Amino acid sequence: MGTWLCVCAGRSQILIALPRTLLARSFMLIFVLIVLSLAASVAIIRHVEQEPRTRQMAQLVVSAINLTRAAVLSAAPEWRGALLVELAETEGLRVQMADANDGLKPLPDYPPQLQMMVEKVRDSLGGNTRFAAERNGVEALWVSFFIGNEEFWVALPRERIEHPVSQVLLVWGGVVLLLALLGAYFIARQVARPLKQLAQAAQQVGHGEMPQPLPEQGAQEIVAVSRAFNQMSADLASNERERALVLAGISHDLRTPLTRVRLAAELSADESLRDG
C-alpha cells in the first residue's frame, strides 16, 4: 500500500496515492516535472508564434484569392470553365460560383488562430468576405470573393493553410520524452541505491552482524552518511572485540581461584570438604 497525499482545492479534497519507495517517488516527481515543463514549453512556443503564423495564413489566403480573381478576370468568358478546371487540377483550388441554396457550415471557434486569420483576410479583401468549413458537403476552407456583382467560392485545402504538426516531429518528441524518462529513472535510482544499501547494512547491525563497509562515493551528503555509518560500524566492532577480551579476562580470573579451592578440597583428608 502506498501513502495518500491530500490535496485541498477550495472545499474539496483530492486523495492522491503516492508510492512508498524513494525510487518510485523520485521517478514520479521527475516525470511530472518533465511533463509539465514540456507542456509549458509547447504552450509558450505556440503563443509566441501565434501572431506570425496567423499573419502567414492570412497572406496565403489573400494571395490565393487575388491570383484566382486575376486569372478569372484575364480569361475570356468562353475560357473561364477550362481555367477553373485547370486551377482545380494543378493548384488544388476549386473555384465555383456562389448559389443562394448553398449549404454552408461555419468555421469553428477553435483554434483561435483561425478566427484571427479570418479578421486579417477581411481587412484585406473586404468585410463582405465569407468563410465556411463545409459547402454542399465538401470540407475545405471556403472563402468567397466578388468579381463585379458575381460572388465566387474558392476551396483551399486546410492542410495548406493550417500546417498541422508533422508525424516526424511527433516521433522525435516521443523519442525525446522517452530519453528524458530514462534519464529520470537513472537519476532516481542513483539517489535511492545508497539509501537502500544503508538500510540493509543497518538491518545487519541490528541482527548483530557486521556489514561490509559502504562505498563512500556519490553526492557529498551520501558520502558523509556512508562515512559516518562505516565509522559507527567500526566503533561497534572495536567495542565488541574489547568486550570479548574483558569477558575472557574476567572468566580466567574467576576460574583460577576456584580451581585452587577445588584442588585443596580434593587433597584434604576431611571427607566433608572432599564432598563439599
pLDDT digits (tens, 9 = 90+) for 176-199: 888 888 888 888 788 778 888 888
Residues 82 and 157 placed together within one structural domain of the fold: yes
- Residue carrying the nine cell digits 551528503: 221
Residues 138 and 240 placed together within one structural domain of the fold: no
Strands (E), 21-164: 94-97, 104-105, 131-135, 138-147, 150-156
| Inside any domain, residue 192 | yes
**pLDDT (tens digit, 9 = 90+) per residue, 232-268?**
888 888 887 877 777 776 766 666 666 666 656 666 6
In terms of Cα–Cα distance, which of 146, 174, 184, 172 is closest to 31? 184
Residue 66: domain span: 50-162
CA distance linking residue 54 with residue 120, whole number of Å: 8
| Inside any domain, residue 132 | yes
Is 70 exceeded by the pLDDT of residue 204?
yes
| Inside any domain, residue 238 | yes
**Number of domains the chain contains:** 2
| Inside any domain, residue 31 | no
Is 80 exceeded by the pLDDT of residue 225?
yes
Alpha carbons within 13 A on the beta-carbon side of 36: 6
| Burial 167-177, CB ≥16 within 10 A → b, else e | eeeeeeeeeee
Percent of all residues in the chain with a pLDDT value above 70, rounded to a whole number: 74
Residues 154 and 195 placed together within one structural domain of the fold: no
**pLDDT (tens digit, 9 = 90+) per residue, 140-162?**
888 888 887 888 888 887 766 66
CA distance linking residue 198 with residue 168, whole number of Å: 46
Q: CA dihedral in degrees (56, 57, 62, 65; nearest 10)?
A: 140
- Residue carrying the nine cell digits 514540456: 38
Residues 120 and 200 placed together within one structural domain of the fold: no
pLDDT at site 273: 46
Average pLDDT, the chain: 76
